[in-house]
């Protein structure tokens, strides 16, 4: 299935200082006497969680970004290529916020979770 791509308005970039967190999903089985067997939990056991911000936005740019996330409703997947990567990944955006940093200047911050739905 093809999902829509998240495309930033022209001239908008990702702020430096974004966070990429990788928390591998690992299954553990205690074997007694302190021995533990570990294995990755499935084919996609290393999902990424990303926190990024887009700042110095005029209201129209912020509205465009926020409208995309609103359309995806916090659970519908989309694709986006992280800065410094060449291939898009599939994401959901369960949380975002819009901040007024100055009159008519906004910042949109979003938390993304890597998604592996087909």
Mean predicted lDDT score pLDDT of the chain: 94
Task: Check residue 112 and give its pLDDT.
Answer: 97
Confirm whether 40 is domain-assigned: yes
Question: How far apart (Å, rounded) are the C-alpha atoms in residues 36 and 30?
Answer: 5
Task: Check residue 3 and give its pLDDT.
Answer: 95
Question: Does residue 113 surpass a pLDDT of 80?
Answer: yes
Confirm whether 3 is domain-assigned: no
Confirm whether 7 is domain-assigned: no
Domain that residue 45 falls in: 19-114
Number of domains the chain is built from: 1
Helix (H, G, I), strand (E, B) or coil at 68: helix
Confirm whether 109 is domain-assigned: yes
Do residues 50 and 19 make contact, with C-beta atoms less than 8 angstroms apart? yes
Confirm whether 8 is domain-assigned: no
Burial 81-104 (b: 16+ CB within 10 A, else e): ebeeeeeebbbbbeebebeeeeee
Confirm whether 10 is domain-assigned: no
Residue 68's CB is within 10 A of a number of other CB atoms, namely 20
pLDDT tier at 18 (50, 70, 90 boundaries)? confident
Q: Which two tokens stand for residue 41?
A: 């939990």
Q: Which pTM does this prediction carry? A: 0.85
Per residue in 25-75, pLDDT (tens digit) is 999 999 988 899 999 888 898 999 999 999 999 999 999 999 999 999 999
Q: Average of pLDDT values for 95-111?
A: 95
Instruction: List alpha helices for the chain, DSSP H.
Output: 59-72
Confirm whether 106 is domain-assigned: yes
Confirm whether 108 is domain-assigned: yes
């Amino acid at each position: 299935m093809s999902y829509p791509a998240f495309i930033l308005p022209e001239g908008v970039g990702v702020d430096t200082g974004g966070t990429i967190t990788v928390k591998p999903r690992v299954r553990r089985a205690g074997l007694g006497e302190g021995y533990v067997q570990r294995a990755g939990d499935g084919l996609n056991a290393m999902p990424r969680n990303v926190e990024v911000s887009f700042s110095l936005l005029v209201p129209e740019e912020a509205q465009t970004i926020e409208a995309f996330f609103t359309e995806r409703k916090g659970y519908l997947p989309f694709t986006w290529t992280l800065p410094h990567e060449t291939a898009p990944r599939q994401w959901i955006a369960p949380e975002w916020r819009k901040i007024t940093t100055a009159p008519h200047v906004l910042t949109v911050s979003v938390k993304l979770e890597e998604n592996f739905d087909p």
